[in-house]
Structure formats: C-alpha cells, structure tokens
Amino acid sequence: MTAPVLEIENLTLALPAMADRPLAIQNLSLSIAPGETLCVVGESGSGKSLTALATIGLLPRAVKPAGGAIRLAGRDLLPLSEREMQDIRGREIGMIFQEPMTSLNPVMRVADQISETFEAHGALDRRGRRERTLELIAEVGLPDPPAIARAYPHELSGGQRQRVMIAMALAMEPKLIIADEPTTALDVTTQAQILKLIDALRKKHGTAVMFITHDFGVVAEIADRVAVLQHGIMVEEGPAAAVLHMPQHDYTKRLLAAVPSLVPPPPKDLSGAPKAFQVKDLSKTYRGRGFFRRGREVKAADHVSFEIGRGETLGLVGESGSGKSTVGRCVMRLIEPDEGQIRIGDLSIRELTQAQFRPQRKRIQMVFQDPFASLNPRRTVGRIIAEGPIAQGVPKREALEKARRLLDLVGLSANAADRYPHEFSGGQRQRVGIARALALEPEVLVADEPVSALDVSVQAQILALMQDLQKRLGLAILFVTHDLRVAAQMCDRIAVMQKGKIVELQPTAKLFENPQHAYTKALLAAVPGGRDVGATLAAAGIEPSG
Amino acid sequence: MLRFLASRLAKGVVVLLAIAVLNFALIRAAPGDPATVMAGEAGAADEVFVQQLRERFGLDRPMVEQLGIYLKGILTLDLGFSYRQGRSVASLVGERLPATLLLTGSAFAISLLLGTALGALAARRAGTWADTAITTAALLFYATPLFWIALMSQILFSLKLGLVPNVGYETIGAGYTGLARVLDILHHLILPALTLGLFFTALYARMMRASMLETAGSDYVRTARAKGVSPSVVTRRHVARNAILPVVTLAGLQAGQIVGGAILTETVFAWPGIGRLMFEALAQRDYQVLLGVFFVSSAMVVLFNLVTDLVYRAVDPRIQVGG
C-alpha cells in the first residue's frame, strides 16, 4: 500500500468558552491515499468544515488545535508557522469552497484570479502563467477560454464560477484537494457535471480528494471511502459501499433512513376530492426598466395552469430561474401576475383589488424557505403566530390562546409562545412558520422550498409533520422545490417547470417511472445517488408528531 | 458608452431646468423685497421711489414673465445682472470661483487620501492602540462643529504659534507676483483647507475602516488565502480594492459640494469664495446673485454625479454600461 497523502491523527479542536460544546473535533483520525476520494459526511455543527479548515490552516481565530497531528505526505502541519503554511496552501493543498457566488473577487478578471495562484508561489513567468491559465480554463470544461479569461465573475453562471474555483485549486497540481460542499449551491444538473469533473480530474492527476458534504446522494456518486461525523466525533468510517448499504452505527443508519427515496410511496386515494385551487394561464414577465429604451424581458411564468384538490399536494419542480418561486408568489398575489385566473374554491381572486382580497387572504397561506430570515426577531413566537388572526379581527386574547394550541399541533410545547425566534433551532423555527401559516385556517398552503435549509433528519420530521397536518386539515398544498427526492415523497402529482413553462405534469409515480419530457429525464438522471440511496419517510421510522 | 453619456447629459439638463424653476419659486416665496432694501439703504423709503426701482428692474412684471426671462437667460448661459453690485452675475461668480475651487479641492484631496489611508491602517491594526487612536480622533472630529475647530485652530496656529496667516487669501498690499504669489496663497490656504478637510477625513477614515473589516471576512478573501497569497497582497489586492467602493460613492457626494463652497469656513477665514458671495447676497436680498450661485452649484452637483458614476464604473466592473 502506498503512503497516505493526508493523515490526521487524534486531532482535537477546542471551541471558545461560550460555544455550545468545548470541543469542535475530538480525537479525529483519518487518512487519504493518493487518487482516493474520502467523503466526510455530517449535519450542520458536526465539525466537518472545521476539519477542512484545520487541514489548510485557515481555522477561525477562536478555534484552536488542542492536540493531535495533521500530516501531509508525512510532514506535520500543525506546528508550522503562518509563513510556512502560506507556502503549502495552493501549492500542496487546493481548496474549493461552497459558495461560487461569493468566493471569487468581484472586481478581478478570471484570468488574474487563476494566475494569482502561480504568482503567489513564484511559478512560471508572465507568459507561462497566461498560457497555463488558458489551459486550465479549457481543462475544467469552460467554453471559449480567452473570453472566460477576460470575464469578471458576475458574468459567469454559478456552475461556471465553480469551474473557475476548481481551475484555481488545480493550478499548482496539489497532492490534496479539499472540496467543502462544492455543489450544494448548484442546480442538480450542474451538480452532476461538477461531480463528474472533480472525479475525472482526480483520476487524471492522481490527486487525493477530501470531499465535505451533507448529502448521501453525492457520497454515493463520488466516494471511495466515507467518514461520518456527529458532534465532532467520527462515529463510522469505511468503504463507501459498506457504509451506504450496511451502516454499523445508529447515527449513520438514522441519517441514511432520513434521505428521501426517489421511489414514491403508494399513491393516496384522492378520487372525489373537490377542487380547492385552480390556476389558469398565469403569466408574469419581468422587464428591465430604461429611461430612453426598453429593457430586456424575462418570461418567469408563461401560461402556467394547474389545479389542486382538497388534501392533495402538487409539486412544482425546477432549477433556479425556472420560474417556480414566481408562480408561488403570483398565486398569493405577493407579486401581481400579468394575466391568468386564480381560484380558491369558488372565489376568483385575480379580479379583486388588494383591499378586497385582504379579508380573503386567510384562505391561502405561505410557508417560506428560510426559517431564520422569515420570522421577526423582536416578537415572541406567540405574537408572530397570532398576528394574522389579530389582523383579521380576532380578539388578541383568543388569538394568543389559539397560537398555543397551534404550537402544540406542530409538535412544540405551548410555552414556546413566550420565547423569541432566536431561541429555536432551524427545524423548530420552520414548525413555527407552519403554525403561523395554519393560524388562519387556510384552504391552500403554498410551501416555497420549506425544507431546503434544513439538515436531512430535521427535513424528514418537517415533511412528516406537513403530511400529517394535511391529512387532518384537508389542506391543498402547492409544494415548490428543487429537490426531486423530497418531491417524490411529498407530492401526489408533480409539475416540472423550465424557463417559465410547465413542461410536464404527471402523477408522481408515473413521472418517476416513465418521464415524457427530455428535461424531466435530464433532471431525474442528475439526482446524485439515483435510486440506490434513500428510504421512504415511513421506513425512516419518523412518526408524524402530534 | 457614448449613448450612456448622451442619455445622462440629457437627463442632467432636464434636472437643471427643474432646479432653476424651483430655485426661482423658493426665492420669491421668501419674505423680503430687494427694492425696499435698496430704497432703505438709499435713505429714500417713499412709495414712489420703491415703485420706480421695481419698474427699472422688472420686478413689477408678472411672476411667470420674470421666470420666462430668467430661464431664457440660463439657456444662453446668462445668469442675470446684480442690481446691487452693478455687474453681471456670471462675472461675480467667475471671480470668486477659483478661490473656492482651490479651498474645497485641496480639502477634498486631503480628506480622501488621508482618510482612506488612516482607515486602512486602523483596519489592519484592528484592536491595537493605533486603531483606538485613529478611531477616537475620527469620532472626535466627526462630532465637533466645523466653525469651532476653525476658530480654535486660528487661535492656536496663527495667533499663539504664528505659523500661518490668520485670515484671507493672500497678503494684501504685498504685491507679490509669480512664484512668490503662489507660495503666499498656499501659505494662506493651509489652515482653512486642513480645517475643512478634517470632517471628511474623519468620515472617510471611519468608513474605510468598517468597509475593510467587512471585506476581510468575505469569502473571496478566504479563497485568496487558500491560494497561498501573502497577507500584504491579500490586503492590497483583495481587501482594499473592494473596500474602497463605498468610499468612492461618498466621495462623489462630497465632490458635488465643492463648488457650493463652504460658507462657515470661508466666513471664519475671510476666504473670498462662492460661499461668502452667497452669504453676502442673502443678507442683501440680491436675488440674481443668489440664483446664480444656486444654479452653478446645482450644475456642479449634477456634473459630479455623472463623474462619480463614470469613476464607479471604472472601479467596479459589475456596474453595467448604461445600466
């Protein structure tokens, strides 16, 4: 066996005094051989990103190594000075970060940012740098290298920017590449391309890859070996196939069980359910505004039509820019559509003025994506939930009383009403968001990516909660998501959106078995891990709360 | 690019005409009548004389007609005639403009260079005594009224230490010419320019410091460090380069005010600039001069806004042409 490129031995990282636990990482030991991909998997707070930052010597100041060793090709990095680490970064370890949108300097041309890696390590002359930069841009699969080289980051898409990041990480042909959630911010088809690219480059250059992710689908695609982290402790480590199919530790089993399967559960019987919600020919065009000339136009929704029955969930699936969120907002009239009809039950709401619509707003409510930003931080949870009913004329005392009952309904204790949003975790806040939406007893619930900011185990709980509430309250749900796994488990029917149009609308099982449109097929093929990973929510053993 | 410029200039003309109308209306809405002031000063405040004055200067004509005459003058770059001074407004403004530009321009340059440099230094040494000293001084000068600083600096540097002249633009009656005159003016300039520059130096320093610290925590700075770029290059190329953007915006706003002059500073230091011209015209109800000063300052604000936009597009590629 060849000597490992990276060997982490009994690494311990200490957190500052106010943190929720004293150690970020406790006695972590890992090794990666040349040409091998190790996936480090865990939920938020597991310490997986800190492991990566410790390896490249960029830990936040407050986090201090408290023991152990990180050996790169046999040399311990922890005792090295900042100056010595500077020489190793970029030359021997390449790093790819999560956020392609913000990880590149916005005022520097792409070529300058790539060749800066050479410059920092005194490699090549001016001309050589320029040539190598163009070669690298071509190697990571970007079209028209001279044009990309001259471009600024904002002129590139997210996937293209991530390719530039990869080119920078590869520049000095490092022994080790660390990729910290490199595809999390990308669309599923782009993610598939980037994963392929990283894997191809690993094979070609024999680079060792440490791949940080929370996504078991990605693990199934790319990992040779897997290390599972929970609260800073490695609970399981082994070959990818073994960990994915025969997990030993309870935590790994639970995580895997919480990954939604692409195989949908048996369909519900919805025959005879009355129509709760109808949208017909909804269109919305965004226009750039100019003083002397017309701006460009984007058709965000182009004659979108669908209906949802009582107790039914319709999935609205698509990649970023497909128009799915615009549709979600238009049907709420948070954005005014240009044309089309929207009916809640018998009421057509498009013709109403905003003032006439206001008393009817309670019939359609929304659950937002970001549980951190969508709750007013200066109000108690009880007030947040009661605000809607109070605005609709319910006496304050009664509304607050009801808020307590709702908190109980969504699986939080009633005394949560007196606390503030920051005292709750992400999953708990999303429960509050759901309780707020339900406070007005709506007939229709619009959920815009309600679980995409949550860890997989929490995500499963929130999905189970929504299904349970739907059964009890007969809600019609419009479920906007980019995640086909979640859609497979949650939705009765799925509408696939591309460039503002619904290209396919089918019952879920049929869509997954026999997709008709080429775009649907491409989306399904791009889901990492495919059908090998994931379980139905029922199999996850997560009981609907309540 | 040309399209953008043409469009912006056309918008600028519209804005300026609107400003001219507004200025005119505002001044006429204010109480006071130049004819009575003049008559009073002439010691003949009887109705007939006042009426004669009104007729002579066209003040008895309908307001709309007066506005029409004014706007027509502006379109031909004729800013009107000062009845009080017996001279054209354009020549009055033209005479005072160089002194004001010298004063405010120097103050602008000083504050921009010194402010960003001090702010950057404070950010790099965040938490050290240097940072504390700069931040405290910046807060102090930001909070202290300008005229008070002006008076105190006159007392200290001029009257007590005798390092620089107290007031004025040049030594009257010295008859300097050539280089000697330039040096004399510069000698007079030091105190007012520094005093006026202090406030904006403090402002820029605070802004630059905050902006640098924020930029230092951004993802692309982390990326640069992960490439193995040295700390000094990271600071210069990635942090400072991006941190300067909000400062540029603020500087654009300040640049627009350059021509408006600095009434307080010019008054305290007896600096013969636009600011004092405006102050004098105000006291004398000299409508035409006031309108002229207002108009020239507004034109400069519009012009400098355009220049700021151009500079901004040069330093930030994300700003689109014509966008």
pLDDT at A12: 92
Q: What CATH number does the domain containing B139 carry?
A: 1.10.3720.10
Residue B48, domain extent: 16-76
Q: What percent of chain A has pLDDT over 70?
A: 96
- Fill in the amino acid letter for B157: F
pLDDT at A133 over 80: yes
Q: Whole-angstrom distance between the N-terminal and C-terminal Cα of chain B?
A: 11
Please tell me the CATH superfamily of domain A276-514, with its number. P-loop containing nucleotide triphosphate hydrolases (3.40.50.300)
What value does the CA radius of gyration of chain A take, rounded to a whole number of Å? 25
Structural domain count, chain B: 2
B69 lies in the same domain as B204: no
pLDDT at A352 over 50: yes
B310: tokens are: 């151009």
Of B30, B47, B76, the domain-final residue: B76
B64 lies in the same domain as B138: no
pLDDT at A295: 57
SS3 content of chain B, % helix, strand, coil (to 5): 75, 0, 25
| B1 occurs within a structural domain | no
B152 lies in the same domain as B31: no
pLDDT at B285: 77
pLDDT at B304: 82
Most confident of B175-179, B217-221, B257-261: B217-221
Predicted confidence band at B323 (pLDDT cuts at 50, 70, 90)? very low
pLDDT at A545 over 70: no
What three-state secondary structure class fits A305? Answer: strand
**In degrees rounded to 5, what are phi and psi of residue A65?**
-60, 135
Asked if A154 reaches chain B (Cβ–Cβ under 8 Å), the answer is: yes
Q: Nearest CA of chain B to the CA of A100: how many Å?
A: 9
- Overall average pLDDT of the B110-117 stretch: 92
Q: Nearest CA of chain A to the CA of B210: how many Å?
A: 19
A486-536: pLDDT as tens digits: 999 999 999 999 988 999 999 999 999 999 999 999 999 888 887 777 766
| B106 occurs within a structural domain | yes
Q: Nearest CA of chain A to the CA of B199: how many Å?
A: 30
A61-101: pLDDT as tens digits: 888 899 899 999 989 999 999 999 999 999 999 999 988 88
Report the alpha-carbon distance of residue B125 to residue B141 in Å, rounded: 21
Q: What residues of A are in contact with residue B220 (Cβ under 8 Å)?
A: 102-106
pLDDT at A19: 72
Report the alpha-carbon distance of residue A495 to residue B111 in Å, rounded: 59
pLDDT at B82: 80
Most confident of A249-253, B22-26, B258-262, B266-270: A249-253
B148-159: pLDDT as tens digits: 888 888 888 888
Q: What residues of B are in contact with residue A58 (Cβ under 8 Å)?
A: 222, 225-226
Q: Which of A58, A105, A108 sits opposite B226 (nearest CB)?
A: A58
pLDDT at B115: 92
A320-351: pLDDT as tens digits: 878 888 898 899 888 889 999 999 988 888 88
pLDDT at B243: 92
B67 lies in the same domain as B134: no
Residues near A349 by beta carbon (within 8 Å), at least 6 away in sequence: A333, A342, A343, A357, A360, A364
A433-456: pLDDT as tens digits: 888 988 888 999 999 988 887 888
- Overall average pLDDT of the B102-116 stretch: 90
Report the alpha-carbon distance of residue A133 to residue A171 in Å, rounded: 8
B72 lies in the same domain as B100: no
Predicted confidence band at A39 (pLDDT cuts at 50, 70, 90)? very high
B177-198: pLDDT as tens digits: 788 888 888 888 888 888 888 8
Report the alpha-carbon distance of residue A219 to residue A520 in Å, rounded: 23
pLDDT at B291 over 80: yes
The neighbouring-strand residues paired with A343 are: A278, A348
| B81 occurs within a structural domain | no
What value does the CA radius of gyration of chain B take, rounded to a whole number of Å? 24
- Overall average pLDDT of the A310-320 stretch: 90
B37-83: pLDDT as tens digits: 777 766 666 777 778 777 777 777 788 888 888 888 888 878 777 87
What pTM value is reported for the model? 0.80
Residues near B80 by beta carbon (within 8 Å), at least 6 away in sequence: B70, B73, B88, B89, B288, B291, B292
A49, HSE (Cβ side, Cα atoms, 13 Å) = 13
A153-187: pLDDT as tens digits: 988 888 889 889 999 998 888 999 999 988 887 88
DSSP class of residue B128 equals S
| B164 occurs within a structural domain | yes
pLDDT at A546: 35
Predicted confidence band at B322 (pLDDT cuts at 50, 70, 90)? very low
B103 lies in the same domain as B71: no
Q: Which of A86, A91, A97 sits opposite B223 (nearest CB)?
A: A97
| B184 occurs within a structural domain | yes
DSSP B209-277: HHHHHHHHTSHHHHHHHHTT--HHHIIIIIIIHHHHHHHHHHHHHHHHTTTT--HHHHHHTT--SHHHH
B-interface mutation test, from A107, A114, A173, A175, most B Cβ less than 10 A away: A107
Mean of the per-residue pLDDT values of chain B: 83
Report the alpha-carbon distance of residue B165 to residue B115 in Å, rounded: 26
Cβ–Cβ < 8 Å for A410, A432: yes
pLDDT at A53: 92
Mean of the per-residue pLDDT values of chain A: 87
Asked if A62 reaches chain B (Cβ–Cβ under 8 Å), the answer is: no
B153 lies in the same domain as B64: no
B215 lies in the same domain as B70: no
Quote ipTM for the complex. 0.79
What three-state secondary structure class fits B5? Answer: helix
Predicted confidence band at A282 (pLDDT cuts at 50, 70, 90)? very high
SS3 content of chain A, % helix, strand, coil (to 5): 40, 25, 35
pLDDT at B140 over 70: yes
- Fill in the amino acid letter for A500: G
B121 lies in the same domain as B23: no
pLDDT at A313 over 90: yes
| B10 occurs within a structural domain | no
B23 lies in the same domain as B112: no
Q: With an 8 Å Cβ cutoff, are A121 and B218 in contact? A: no
Of B48, B76, B104, the domain-final residue: B76
B234 lies in the same domain as B288: yes
Q: What residues of A are in contact with residue B245 (Cβ under 8 Å)?
A: 107
**In degrees rounded to 5, what are phi and psi of residue A444?**
-125, 135
B53 lies in the same domain as B170: no
Q: What ranges do the domains of chain A cover?
A: 101-171, 276-514
pLDDT at A536: 63
pLDDT at B121: 92
Predicted confidence band at A293 (pLDDT cuts at 50, 70, 90)? low
